Amino acid sequence: MVIALAVLLVAAVLCALSAYWVLRAYRRAGGGSSSPVPALLGCGMVALAALTTYLLIGRPELADAAYAPRLEALKQRDPTTYSVDEALAILSEAARDNPTDPLPHFYSGQLLLDQGRAQEAVRAYDMALRRAPENVEAMLGLGRAMVQMEDGRVGPDALAVFQQAAQLSNDPAPWIYQAMAAMEQGNDAETRRLWGEALQRMAPDDPRREMARAMMAGG
């Protein structure tokens, strides 16, 4: 409701500005024998048509049709056929219907991160963690999104997230990112120690084990 009112307010302002410019141009031209009323009415009709179209379309992330019927039609489809924006629309509704559930926000974060939309992913993971503060997967997603925003650098905020995740999970990932941060800081001893911590937590068939051994040896 708030968003709809904001859209209507912005549209009204734009309509008023359009009318003002039409009238201003008419006066600068000296008025002439014609009346500005038809032009002003034209502005109003165009604005009304644009508003009507927007309200019918509803949401930009789905195809052009009324939003509610489109959403219901989506629910009847196989979820594996959804586009990313369609899946985000379904998750957005789930988040509205279940305001305390972290999962819609978490899965939105996963989709957004996979699409390279790191800033949006950070917001989604943050919303998930507000509802489940010890969700390690959401912490790792948040940290990875922060790293993506920093073009691969593990900054202080991301490092703090990975350190917190390391206290709650036996996953090697938070230790790998901590090792990357130590390497970026030029701390060789800490880099080797952290890679050792990661190696201890890796499964025997983990493909990262060879890299971890090489980093521990200073490779």
* pLDDT tens digit sequence for 157-175: 999 999 999 999 999 999 9
Q: What is the CATH number for 72? A: 1.25.40.10
Amino acid in position 31: G
126 occurs within a structural domain: yes
Q: What is the pTM of this model?
A: 0.69
14 occurs within a structural domain: no
* pLDDT tens digit sequence for 68-79: 788 888 888 888
Average pLDDT of the residues in 73-99: 92
82 occurs within a structural domain: yes
Closest CA to 140 of 167, 124, 158: 158
* pLDDT tens digit sequence for 20-48: 555 565 566 565 555 655 555 655 665 56
CA 78 and chain centroid, separation: 24
Count structural domains, the chain: 1
192 occurs within a structural domain: no
Cα Rg of the chain, angstroms: 27
89 occurs within a structural domain: yes
pLDDT band at 64 (very low <50, low <70, confident <90, very high): very low
96 occurs within a structural domain: yes
CA angle (177, 192, 136) in 5-degree steps: 30
110 occurs within a structural domain: yes
**Residue 201, burial from CB neighbour count under 10 angstroms (0-12, 13-18, 19+):** middle
Inform me whether the pLDDT recorded for 12 exceeds 80.
no
- Can you give the residue range of the structural domain that contains 60? 51-135
Inform me whether the pLDDT recorded for 205 exceeds 90.
yes
